[in-house]
Amino acid sequence: MGHQRLGTLPQSRKWQRVVELISGGADVRDIASAVSAAAERSMSDAAKDPAVSSAFFLLTQVLLAARKEHFVSELRMLGLRVGDQPSLMEIVSAFTEAVDREVRTNGGRTDFGEMVQLAAAESLNAVAGRELPTLFGVTTDDVKRALAGLATVKQFGLLSCDFFSRLTRRHLDYYLSRELPKHVGINKRFQTVREHNEFDKASETHCRETARIVREFSGEWFSKHTYEGGITPEKARGFVHVAFDKIRRELRIRRNADG
């Protein structure tokens, strides 16, 4: 199958409302609420994309591999094509390629699938990268310790929250980015590029705050299933559906509170 796209900016009343709010100079929270309402159906469908569960499952397995003695061998068994002394960047790159191969095997690439790959890779690099030493050269053992350290209730919760935050932002921005550039310029919503960038930052904060709803749940889920039979692709798929339900409900709650 070929590359499947999510589509152009919908022409529904809800999306027309988004456009009206942007051009009318509404607060970012109001616009974000309107965007989430307009994209809710799309987000529900996107949660079924096999790339999400594939990436999330592999994410859990990379962390668990770091807790084992033969780290590099374990990574290769997971399908990550890495060298004998991989850096974090090499592991992240191999992770992305492994997810891509899995997705191609199971139905083909989609726009949302690409967002998933980018969000997962960015989260792995950002969250694990914070745990690496900065004064001296980073070794594979340092990377192993950093990744293994994420396999705890608290740290996995943070990683999962970061992942879903980035994914939610990318999904909403997929549509919103088609409209925002039309409102930059003299006598428009954003008179300067700086104002546009400030709006983007506020939107990112909104998505990050929304994704906090999965943090505690994610950590407890990871711990429970790691020690009770292990994490399987099926369990990861079930988790993803629950996580997206929680995020959609949180967006709805925020929307109603603002309304």
Percent of the chain with pLDDT over 70: 91
pLDDT score at 61: 98
**Averaged confidence pLDDT in the chain:** 86
For residue range 44-74, list pLDDT tens digits in order.
777 788 888 999 999 999 999 999 999 999 9
How many whole angstroms separate alpha carbon 180 and alpha carbon 22?
8
Q: Are 51 and 116 in contact (CB under 8 A)?
A: yes
Q: Are 121 and 16 in contact (CB under 8 A)?
A: no
Q: Taking 80 as the threshold, does the pLDDT of residue 109 lie above it?
A: no
**Nearest CA to 224 among 212, 213, 238, 210?**
238
Percent of the chain with pLDDT over 90: 48
For residue range 162-193, list pLDDT tens digits in order.
999 999 888 888 877 777 778 888 888 888 88
Q: Taking 70 as the threshold, does the pLDDT of residue 198 lie above it?
A: yes
Residues 140 and 54 in one domain: yes
pLDDT score at 259: 55
**Nearest CA to 78 among 15, 147, 141?**
147
Range of the domain at 247: 10-46+152-259
Residues 259 and 201 in one domain: yes
Residues 97 and 179 in one domain: no
pLDDT score at 155: 97
The contacts of residue 206 (CB under 8 Å, 6+ apart) are 28, 29, 32
Q: Which of 119, 136, 151 is the last residue of a domain?
A: 151
Residues paired with 184 in a beta bridge: 190
pLDDT score at 104: 83
Residue 5 lies in a domain: no
pLDDT score at 135: 64
Residue 239 lies in a domain: yes
Residues 39 and 136 in one domain: no
Task: Give the number of other CB atoms < 10 A from CB of residue 95.
Answer: 25
Tokens of 155: 């740290």
Q: Is the dihedral of CA 244, 248, 254, 257 positive or negative?
A: negative
Q: Which of 113, 129, 151 is the last residue of a domain?
A: 151
Residues 74 and 160 in one domain: no
Q: Taking 60 as the threshold, does the pLDDT of residue 9 lie above it?
A: no
Tokens of 12: 């529904």
How many whole angstroms separate alpha carbon 97 and alpha carbon 31?
35
- pLDDT-derived band of residue 1, with 50, 70 and 90 as boundaries? very low
